[in-house]
Chain A
Amino acid sequence: MTPQAFSETFTRVTTEMHKAIIGQDELVFGLLVATVARGHVLVEGAPGLGKTLVARALAVVSGLAFKRIQFTPDLMPSDITGSSIYDRQSGAFAFVPGPIFTQLLLADEINRAPAKTQSALLEAMQDRTVTVDGNTRPLPPVFTVVATQNPIESQGTYPLPEAQLDRFLMKLKVDDPPADEEAKIVRRHADGFDPGDLRTLAAVTSEPELVRMHALAQKVRIDDAIVGYIVDLVRRTRHDRSLELGASPRASIAMLRCGQVVAAAAGRDFVTPDDVKWMAKPILRHRVMLHPDAELQGISADERVDDILKAAPVPRIAA
């Protein structure tokens, strides 16, 4: 596969997804980047903005197996991973796989389940394996968790611990659509569009192709100046006064991986600072912890990341 073929496939998938989704360019792009980069995405947005629809559309268009878990306070880890059930006929325990054994998993309202249940995803997200009753089972090569959470409601929710947050490659925010896009959405529904029926979408790629895309993205060249720029950005989060906790080296690696995918999506075989900067905010915003004073002053993580991006000089050939 060449970067041009990569770019064409990428464009084909986004175009097909936009047959069902109006707007939400950043969300669509981010999901696709994360899928190719073998990462997981935390989507934050108010109800009714199309988070679930985007995830389902991605599954249909990329030909991936899709499962959805509605996280609730009484959800148990075994409800996610699966469990061993005694089989009377054979007289032995048989493993019944849970919904995690899929390729695209939608963890809806992930913060409604307690930390114990949320942690059931840790191994799967990091090591791409699931261990039940001492037996470790591998997950498919393409495995992406798309978790959603509502930023408004706080009662009866369990905030994701930092360890869990760090496992997500990026955190995407879904905002209200502009007026013209909202009008188009309403018009489409008036014309009979059913969000539950995505049979109009075609699978324009497949798991093997996604694996090849991942392999190609890993070969995209990263100059030392770009590595320096990534490290500079991440280290600045650790020295920022408004941040209690900066981003970890895992964030640097995430920026590297995403930069490679973004570069390949643009048909290039090398990463530019623009590719890194493009994905910096989704990658860093959930990995930094604001200082309480900064929170009291209403400063958001996005604002601090913006300031850091504006303070970091972009590498270029010195004149």
Chain B
Amino acid sequence: MKRSVALCSMLCALTSVLPVRQAFAAHKPPAAADLAVKDAMGSGQHAFCTHPPKILDGTDQATCPLARETAGCEPLAAACDKQLPPKHEDTTDPPSTPKIPKELGTIAMVLTAAIVLAVLLGLLLPVLLAFLRSRRDDSLRDVAQEKETTPDAAPLLERGPVITDAERLLALANDLAARGQSREALGTYLTASLRALDHRGVIRFARHRTNGEYVRSCADASARTELSSVVREVEEVEFGGHEPSRESIAHVQRSATALVRAAMLAASVVMLALFSAGCDAGSHPPTENDPAGKQLLVDVLERQGFSASYLSGSIGSLPIPQEDDLTPLVVLDLSITKLDEDARSHLLTWVGAGGLVLALEPRADMEDTLAVTSSSSKERDVTVLLDDPYQHEVFTYPARVNVGRKLQLRDRGEKKTDNAQLTREVVATMGLTEDAADDDAYAIEESIGRGAIVTVATADLFTNVGLAHGENAKAAMALVERAFAATREGNLRSYHEHPIVIARPQSGLTPPGNPLSALSQAGLGMGMWHALAAALVLFLAVGVRQARPRPAPPPTRRAFAEHVEATGALYAKARAASHARTILAKYTDERVRQKTTQKLSAGTPEEDPFLQLTGHSAAEYKHLVESSTADEMTELRRMRELRRVLAKLSPVPHSHPEKKDPS
């Protein structure tokens, strides 16, 4: 078997230099991939074997079996041996982990709930108090609102149309100056300068700010000097009544142009910096020495004659290819790139229109989409089959993976797309065999519409360690070529012209349509709603405190009794209700005594006249008054009783009927 493989490799190497295969003419065949790997590893750019990360994460640890079998990866293998956790046979907790009593969890939950409740109360209390206060002040009439509607409140200053773009304003000013409207031109030059500086962020443009304030607050010293000279010239014309001279207009024009151009230049520099930062983020690999990374894949692909890079956008925003478009091959490692629903459906549409996908290690959520079922296998050797349509010969490329995993074909059933020519073929099998078996497949190619998907059971072959192992690179390149060859439409140009893009972990997320969905996608949906609710409550709490008070009703003439009641109401408003009640009680007592004197002088019964007039004996009344005028009197019942006494003595109501009881 090994001999046949070697023979195949040699044959492939030989055929690669022959011009008979037009498609393979511009790039190297898979058989040359091991040389490309050696060259890449020898370049010193890939240090995942010699200088592995100090801490290996889960994906890195998954490469350990291959690392141990790869020549030159001894440091990585040593790191694997050192960091892989020992297997625990028993399921009991390790002794170092202290047992946390369940009660602590309950207490923590109660404490958290109490804290949240306290915070909510702290925020809601001012709102509630303000609401109650506003209800209490319902009697106040909003006279100022009426005043505002009077014609006097109309703005005194006529204003022109507002043009916000500094460049447009500058052009307008130049136009006005050319037409001889010097005064308007000067004002427009100044506005253009202010807009430009506002755009730069060195001043804050507002209708209420004066030119002097703009000059004083300008954060840029050189711009401040220019602006000051513009302001001086403009104000001399605008407020000084001076006629604008040609020199002053030219001077203002120069200064304003310099300010606007400087602002545009600064904005361009910022945009360029941001743009280059964005480009930078898209072109650089995520890490340098990640054993499970794909840097070596990119390097080898480029050495093989392909154009390879990382996908900068999202799967969900891949443009639907047209007939003559150069469709990229997307290497999609599904073990690290999770596709959301939109991206998944877009991917199928994109493939149907001519897209090519190399889908690695499909998880359960993608098995329906790819119509395969993956299961574990004891076999770690795989064989990739690559047929040459011109020579009618099948080349085999053996490879070794970390963990055995195989694919089984599933019927697409109703998911079959209209007008889709479905062709599925096993392109790699488990074990070192050339016989393709549907139930023991390592990779399956499927052409959908004008495009194709090659599904590979594991992503091992395409990782840094996977490519560095033995002859895995040849198998990986063979799978890449199978992906290109999978399409039956014949719409492909030579392979090397098609770019290969490698999806990032975040490429599976469809770009959000708005900031809210972006937050939701980032897992901050609940936090966002909480923050919005808190902001609303805070806004209300602060707004209530900052709200403008409503004016008092216009003063009206009142009787003395109403004044006393109003005084009581004022005390009540000032949270001195007990004091107010005391005053009212004293006042009522005084009135009772006056009335009693009047009644007695008018000839009332002589026998216990007070009892007959009021229904209370003198002693009871004295007690009532004393308890009502006590400092800490809190019972309104006594107060009401006292007022009833007064009512009995007064045939006419002693207070205004519309007024509420101030106490």
B545 touches A297 (CB 8 A): yes
Residue of B nearest to A268 (CB): B240
Q: B654 to chain A: closest CB distance in Å?
A: 28
A317 touches B187 (CB 8 A): yes
**Stretch among A53-61, A96-104, A185-193, A269-277 lining the B interface:** A269-277
Residue of B nearest to A228 (CB): B156
**Stretch among A123-131, A162-170, A199-207, A229-237 lining the B interface:** A229-237
User: Is residue B213 within 8 Å, beta carbon to beta carbon, of the partner chain?
Assistant: yes
Q: Which residues of A contact B147 (CB under 8 A)?
A: 239
Q: Which residues of B contact A291 (CB under 8 A)?
A: 549, 551-552
User: Is residue A293 within 8 Å, beta carbon to beta carbon, of the partner chain?
Assistant: yes
Residue of B nearest to A312 (CB): B208
- Give residues in A with beta carbon < 8 Å to B: 221, 223, 225-226, 228-229, 231-232, 235, 239-242, 244, 268-274, 277-278, 291-294, 296-297, 299, 309-319
User: Is residue B155 within 8 Å, beta carbon to beta carbon, of the partner chain?
Assistant: yes
Q: Which residues of B contact A272 (CB under 8 A)?
A: 210-212, 235, 239
Q: Which residues of B contact A296 (CB under 8 A)?
A: 549
In the A-B complex, the 10 residue pairs with the smallest Cβ-Cβ separation, listed nearest first, are A318-B160, A317-B187, A274-B212, A293-B549, A270-B240, A274-B210, A313-B207, A241-B144, A319-B188, A223-B239
Most chain A CB neighbours (cut-off 10 Å) among B183, B207, B548: B548
Residue of A nearest to B210 (CB): A274
Count of chain B residues with a beta carbon within 8 Å of a chain A beta carbon: 46
- Give residues in B with beta carbon < 8 Å to A: 144, 147-148, 152-153, 155-163, 169, 172-173, 183-184, 186-188, 190-192, 206-213, 234-236, 238-241, 545, 548-552
From A232, A242, A268, give the contact of B549 (CB < 8 A): A242
A241 touches B549 (CB 8 A): yes
Q: Which residues of A contact B163 (CB under 8 A)?
A: 319
With A239-B144, A270-B239 known, 13 other A-B pairs at CB within 8 A are A223-B239, A229-B156, A232-B157, A241-B549, A241-B551, A270-B240, A272-B210, A274-B210, A277-B213, A293-B550, A316-B187, A319-B161, A319-B169
Task: Give the distance in Å from the alpha carbon of A317 to the alpha carbon of B211 in the complex.
Answer: 12
B156 touches A319 (CB 8 A): no
Task: Give the distance in Å from the alpha carbon of A242 to the alpha carbon of B144 in the complex.
Answer: 9
Residue of A nearest to B183 (CB): A317
B152 touches A235 (CB 8 A): yes
A294 touches B549 (CB 8 A): yes
A-B contact pairs, 12 of them (CB 8 A): A225-B157, A225-B238, A235-B156, A239-B153, A272-B235, A274-B212, A291-B552, A292-B552, A311-B208, A316-B187, A319-B172, A319-B184
Task: Give the distance in Å from the alpha carbon of A98 to the alpha carbon of B465 in the complex.
Answer: 104
Q: B176 to chain A: closest CB distance in Å?
A: 9
From B184, B206, B549, B551, give the contact of A317 (CB < 8 A): B184
Most chain B CB neighbours (cut-off 10 Å) among A240, A268, A274, A278: A274
Q: Which residues of A contact B239 (CB under 8 A)?
A: 221, 223, 225-226, 270-273
Q: B335 to chain A: closest CB distance in Å?
A: 58
Most chain B CB neighbours (cut-off 10 Å) among A241, A270, A291: A241
Q: Which residues of A contact B156 (CB under 8 A)?
A: 228-229, 231-232, 235
Task: Give the distance in Å from the alpha carbon of A229 to the alpha carbon of B159 in the complex.
Answer: 13
Q: A246 to chain B: closest CB distance in Å?
A: 10
Residue of A nearest to B207 (CB): A313
Task: Give the distance in Å from the alpha carbon of A241 to the alpha carbon of B163 in the complex.
Answer: 33
Task: Give the distance in Å from the alpha carbon of A130 to the alpha carbon of B127 in the complex.
Answer: 57
A274 touches B211 (CB 8 A): yes
Q: Which residues of B contact A292 (CB under 8 A)?
A: 552
Residue of B nearest to A230 (CB): B156
Q: Which residues of A contact B186 (CB under 8 A)?
A: 317
Known contacts: A226-B239, A291-B549. The answer to whether A313 contacts B210 by CB under 8 A is no
B208 touches A313 (CB 8 A): yes
Residue of A nearest to B137 (CB): A293
Q: A173 to chain B: closest CB distance in Å?
A: 20
Most chain A CB neighbours (cut-off 10 Å) among B187, B207, B239, B551: B239
Task: Give the distance in Å from the alpha carbon of A319 to the alpha carbon of B212 in the complex.
Answer: 19
B550 touches A313 (CB 8 A): no
Task: Give the distance in Å from the alpha carbon of A297 to the alpha carbon of B549 in the complex.
Answer: 8
Task: Give the distance in Å from the alpha carbon of A297 to the alpha carbon of B190 in the complex.
Answer: 41
Residue of A nearest to B162 (CB): A319
Q: Which residues of B contact A313 (CB under 8 A)?
A: 155, 157, 159, 207-208
Q: Which residues of A contact B148 (CB under 8 A)?
A: 239
Known contacts: A313-B207, A318-B158, A319-B163. The answer to whether A241 contacts B213 by CB under 8 A is no
B240 touches A314 (CB 8 A): no
